[in-house]
A and B are shown apart, each in its own frame.
Chain A
Amino acid sequence: MLTTPPTLYTRRPSPTTAEFTLTTCPPLTLPLRVALSLLFLGRLVLVLGVVMVCYARWTISPFYNSSSTTSTTASTTTDTDTSDAVLGLLWLLSKAHHTYLGHLSTRIAAAIPLWLLGLLSAGALYAAVFLRVHTTESLLVLRGLGIQTATNNSLLFGFGSTTRFIPTEKIRDVLINEAFRGFEVRYYLVVVVDGESDVVVVFPRLLPRKDIVESVWRGVRGCLYDSQGRVEHYHHHSPRQQQSDNSGRTVYDKG
C-alpha cells in the first residue's frame, strides 16, 4: 500500500528541458499521508525506546553513581551553561526513567547481555534512521548544458541524495543496454561519458522495465539532440511541438 511499482513522471516546462522522475511513491493521498506520518511516529518511538533502554542500562552499570552526582551538582550550580541542552535532556531522561516505561526498560536492559543490547540498539537505530520506504530517481535533461542523474534515498531529512551532472560536451552517447541480472534480462539506460572507464547507469537502483526505459530514452534524445535535424524545419514543427508540450505529462505504469 505504501509503495507502487516504479512510476514515471515527466516534467517538461519547455521543449528543451525535461525531468524524468521515477519513483515508488504513489500520489500523496490522504490515507497515504496518514500512513506515512504513522510510520514516522513509529520510527520516533523506536529511537526513543532505544535511548530509554540504553539509559536504563547505564543506570545499572557501575559507572552510574559517580557521574550522576556530578551532573546533579552541575545542574544545581550552573544553570546558564552552554551544556544546558544536554543537561536538560539528561534531566528529562531521568524523569522518564522513573515512570512505568522506565521500569520496563530497566527490566529489559537487565535481562539482555550487554553485547546483545549494543547490537540490537545499533540495528534498531539503523532501521529507524536509514531504512527507506520510497526510492526516487530522476534524470534531468537540459539542452545545451547536460544531463543530471539524481538518486534520492528519501532518508529522514533528505540526506543521502546524490546527484551527478554530466556536461553535454562529455556525453558520447546515450543508449539502452541489456544485461543479465540473476535469472532475468534487464534493460537499462546508459550514458557513455568521454574519458571515463565506467558508464553511468541511469536509474541504477530501480532499473525499470523496458517500456519505461525506452520512453525515457526517446525523451532524452529529443530533448538533448533534436535541434540538429530540425534546423531548417523549425517553424513548420513548432505548433505540433507546443501541442505535445501541453499533453506531454504522460504517466507510464509498470504492468
Chain B
Amino acid sequence: MPEHDGLMRIFWPTDLARSDLRGVVVGWRNSALDVFVVAILEEVEPRNVESALKIGTLFRNAPHPVSRIYELCGQSSMHVLGVSNTPESVEVDPSWVRVLTGPDHRVPSVTCSRASSIQIVLFERPLPGRMQYISLNPIALALGDKHDGFRNDPPEPGEENEDEKEERLKKEKKQQLVEKLRQHSVIRRVPSAKEKALAKIVNQINWAWELEKLLQKNVSRIGTRPKRSLSVSERVVESATTARDMVLVWIWDMLTVYVLPVIRTIFVLGLMSHRIAAEVLLLMLEWRARPRYAALKDISATAQQVEIRLQQFCYWPMQYVTLRLRKNDWESVTTSHPDYIRFYNSLWLVANDVIIGIALGSYIIDNAAWVAEEISQLLSTYTVDALQSSISWLMGWPAGLKLNNELAAFLGDLFLWVIDYWSSCIGALTPALPHIIWFIGFSSFAGASMPIALFSDLLSILTIHIYSFYLASARIYHWQLNILISLFHLFRGKKHNVLRNRIDSCDYDLDQLLVGTILFTLLFFLLPTVVVFYLNFAFARMAIISLKAVFDTLLSCLNHFPLFALMLRVKDPRRLPGGIRFELRDTRQDFRLAPVNAAPDPPTPKQLPSTSVIYLKSIPLDFKAMFHQYFQMGHRIRKHYLSPRVLLCLLTGKFVPPLNRKNLYSLQYSMLPARRAGILEMWDAVNSLPPPRRRAAPIYVPVLANGKSRYPNNYGNGGRSRIYG
C-alpha cells in the first residue's frame, strides 16, 4: 500500500462529549492510517466493544435497516479505533490511537505508534433531525438542465439561431483549449486510498450524529456495569406513564383503522380526478397543428401560466410521495433534502401568489369600472392619440427636416386611416371592458400571476396595430435600403455575384446606368421620409417589448423566487450547504503577529508527533448561487437584445428575432421535471405510500444505565432485548 508515509488522518467531531473517563474510541477505518471517529464509549473494555461490534449488539433497536449505514458510509463494519484517557501502561494494538481528552482539552491530543505526523480534522456534526448536512458540491436548487432537450424539440441545424451558434462555437474552442491543456500534464498520478475517500467521508460526517446516538443508546448492553434497581417513586411514575401511553395508543388505533382510510380514499380519488382534468387541459395547451408550429402556450402568457400551474399540480403528489418515503429511512440520508426545499418553495410561492392574488383581485373587482375607465383612457392616449399626433407631426416638417411632402402625406394618411379604424374597434370594445376587467379580477383568485399574464396578453392584443405598423414600415424600409445598395453597386459599375457571394465588376450599358442612377437618386431622396416613419414605429414597438419584459420578470419572480431557500439561509445556513472549507488552526504561528519566535510549548509528558489541527466547516450557499438562474436569464436577454447585431437589424430594418422562448423560460421550467408523470404512474405512486405506522409506545430508555425496564422497549420492531436483573 502506498500509505506508509506515516501521515495519519483522524476526523474528530468537536461536539463529542468531553469527559475524563476512560473510553473506547469507535468509528470507521477508511484505510490503515485514515480513521473517522464516531463515538467514545465510556467505561467499557475494548475487547467487549470489539465483539459487540462484530455481533451487532451496538446496533440493536435501530429504527431502520443497519445495512443502509454500511452502504452509504462505504465500509463493511465499524471498528475500535483506539482508547481514550488510558494510562500508558496498558498495552494496545499498534494501529490504535491513544487519545487524551477532557473538559479542558479543546482539541484532543492524539498519538499513534505507527504515525509520524498527524492531521486532526475537527468538524461539527450536522444535525440530521434539522436536515442539516454538508456536501462537496453546492446544493442544487433547480432541477438540473437535463430537460432542455426534452421539453422542446431538439434544435435542427438550420433552425439554430445566431447567438446559439456563437455560444456553441465558443464552447468548442474552449473545449479544444482544455484538451490541449490536458495533453500538457505528463504525469498521471494514481490517487491514493486516502484521496479517494473524501466522498465517503462526507457521508460519514453526515451520519456521525445519528450513529453516535444509536451507539450510546446501546452502550448499556456491553459487559457488566454497576447497576441498581428502580426506586418506588420511579416505579410509580413508570406505571403511570405506561397507563397513559396505553390509552393514547388505543385512541390512535381507532383513528387509523376507521377514520383515516376513508379520508385517504376520498382524497386520493379527488386527486386523481384533478389529475385527469389537468391532463386534458395540458394536452390542449400543448397541441400543435404541425410539429414546427407554435402551440398555444408558446403564444400566450396566460396559457403558459396555466400550464406551469398544472404541471406543478401534477408534480406535487410525486414530490410528496418521495418526501414521505424519506420517513422510512434514516434521517441522515441527504439525497432528498433538495427535493424538500423545492417542494416547499413551490408550495410557499403558490400560497403567496394566491394571497397576493386575493388582495389584488378584490381590489380589481371592487373598482372594476374605475380600472376599466383608466385602462381605456390609457389606451386611447398612448396607442391612438399619441400615435396620431406623432404621425401628423411627421407629416409636417419634423424638427426642421424637409421630408418629401407627397410621400409623407401618403404614408401618414395610410397609417392614420388604419388607426382610425382601430380606434373605432376599440370604441366598440369599451362597453365590454368592465366585464373583461371583472373577469381578470376574478381570475386573480387563482394567484396574482394570472392577472399579470392576462394583462400581458391584453397588451399584446390591444397593441396589435402598432406591431403591424412596425412590420409594414420595416418591410418598406428594408426593401428600399436593399434597392439602394444594389443601385449603388450599379452606380459604381459593380454588381453582387450571388453565386460566389462577392462583388464583381460588370459592364453596364449606358441606358442601364442612366436609369439606375436616376432611380438611385430618387430613392435616396425618398429615404429619410421612410426612415422617420420606420423609427417612430420601431420605438413604439421597443417600448411595448420592454413593458412585456417587465410583466415577464414579475411573473418569473412570482413563480420561481427562491423564497424558501432565502428563509433557510437566514434561519439555518447549514441546511443549504455550498461546499466545504478547511481552516488551519495553529495559534502559535499567526502571521499577523510580529515575527518574534514563539516560545516552545510547555513541556508535555511525551513528545507528540507533529500535528496539524484543521477545522472542516461547511460553507453556506452564497446568494449568487441562489439567484444563478436569474443571472443566467438576465445574461441571455442582455446578450440577445443589447448586442450590436440587434442594433444592426434595427438600423437595416430587418426583423429583430424575438428571443427563443425556450431560453427565456428555462427559469420557469427549472423547477419542473422534463417529463410529467403519467396518470397511472401517479396512481401507483399515491397507492404505494405505506399505511400510517401504528403508533408505538414511546421507546423507553432506562434513566439509569441498565435500569430495569418493565416491558420490552421495542414495541414495533420485534428485536430482542435483554433485561438485566
Contact = CB atoms under 8 A, between A and B. Distances in A.
Interface of A: 9, 11, 13-17, 19, 21, 23, 25, 27-29, 140, 142-146, 148, 150, 162-165, 167-169, 172-173, 192, 197, 199, 225, 227-228, 230-231, 234, 238, 242, 245, 249, 251
Nearest to A22: B591
Contacts of B175: 197
Contacts of B178: 197
Contacts of A230: 5
B32 to A, nearest CB: 12
Contact of A144 (B119, B586, B593, B595): B119
A144 B193 CA distance: 9
B581 A144 contact: no
B612 A14 contact: yes
A228 B195 contact: no
B185 to A, nearest CB: 4
A29 B5 contact: no
Contact of A14 (B182, B591, B610, B619): B610
B136 A13 contact: no
B185 A11 contact: no
Contacts of B689: none
Contacts of B4: 231, 234
Nearest to A150: B581
B563 interface: no
B7 interface: yes
A17 B191 contact: no
B245 interface: no
B191 A251 contact: no
Given A11-B584, A168-B195, A228-B189, A17 B619 contact: no
Interface in B381-400: none
B7 A165 contact: no
Nearest to B585: A13
B695 interface: no
Nearest to A199: B181
Interface in B549-578: none
B17 interface: no
B117 A167 contact: no
Contacts of A199: 181
Contacts of B634: none
A14 B6 CA distance: 12
Given A169-B196, A199-B181, A230-B5, A15 B582 contact: no
B592 A28 contact: yes
A16 B196 contact: no
Contacts of B591: 9, 11, 21, 23
A180 B2 CA distance: 41
Nearest to B192: A144
A148 B198 CA distance: 14
B288 interface: no
A227 B5 contact: yes
A145 B198 contact: yes
B301 to A, nearest CB: 35
B592 A173 contact: no
B592 A27 contact: yes
- Nearest first, the 8 A-B pairs at minimum CB distance are A9-B591, A17-B612, A14-B610, A144-B194, A227-B5, A13-B612, A163-B581, A173-B185
A234 B5 contact: yes
A84 B614 CA distance: 43
Nearest to B619: A163
A145 B580 CA distance: 11
Interface in B590-646: 591-595, 609-614, 619, 622
Interface string B359-388: 000000000000000000000000000000
Given A27-B593, A164-B579, A225-B189, 20 more contacts: A11-B584, A11-B591, A14-B609, A15-B610, A16-B612, A19-B584, A144-B119, A144-B194, A145-B198, A146-B198, A148-B581, A168-B195, A169-B195, A173-B185, A192-B185, A197-B174, A228-B2, A231-B4, A242-B610, A249-B595
A167 B198 contact: yes
Contacts of B580: 165
Given A17-B584, A165-B581, A192-B181, A11 B589 contact: yes
A148 B582 contact: yes
A42 to B, nearest CB: 22
Nearest to B191: A169
B610 A25 contact: no
Contacts of B297: none
Given A14-B117, A165-B580, A29 B594 contact: yes
B429 to A, nearest CB: 40
Given A13-B611, A165-B582, A169-B196, A27 B2 contact: no
A16 B610 CA distance: 10
B99 interface: no
Nearest to B178: A197
8 contacts: A14-B119, A16-B7, A28-B594, A143-B119, A148-B582, A165-B582, A234-B5, A238-B116
B610 A231 contact: no
B592 to A, nearest CB: 5
B58 interface: no
B9 interface: yes
B530 interface: no
A237 to B, nearest CB: 11
B118 interface: yes
Given A16-B119, A23-B591, A249-B589, A172 B185 contact: yes
Contacts of A245: 610
B198 A140 contact: no
B197 to A, nearest CB: 8
Given A167-B198, A168-B195, A13 B582 contact: no
Interface string B502-528: 000000000000000000000000000
B324 to A, nearest CB: 34
Given A167-B198, A173-B185, A144 B136 contact: no
B212 interface: no
Contacts of A11: 584, 586, 589, 591
Contacts of B177: 197
Contact of A167 (B5, B6, B119, B195): B195
A65 B152 CA distance: 58
Contacts of A144: 7, 9, 34, 119, 192, 194-195
Contacts of A27: 592-595
Contacts of B2: 227-228, 231
B575 to A, nearest CB: 19
Interface in B188-220: 189, 191-192, 194-196, 198
Interface string B1-18: 010111101000000000
Contacts of A228: 2, 189
A208 B626 CA distance: 33
Nearest to A245: B610
Nearest to B579: A165
Nearest to A28: B592
Contacts of B595: 27, 249, 251
A14 B10 CA distance: 14
B622 to A, nearest CB: 8
A246 B601 CA distance: 13
Contacts of A251: 595
A148 B2 CA distance: 24
Contacts of A197: 174-175, 177-178
B119 A142 contact: yes
Contact of B592 (A25, A148, A192, A231): A25
Contacts of A148: 581-582
B137 to A, nearest CB: 11
A85 to B, nearest CB: 18
Interface string B218-232: 000000000000000
A23 to B, nearest CB: 7
Interface in B117-145: 117-119, 121, 136
A50 B59 CA distance: 63
A134 B118 CA distance: 33
Contacts of B174: 197
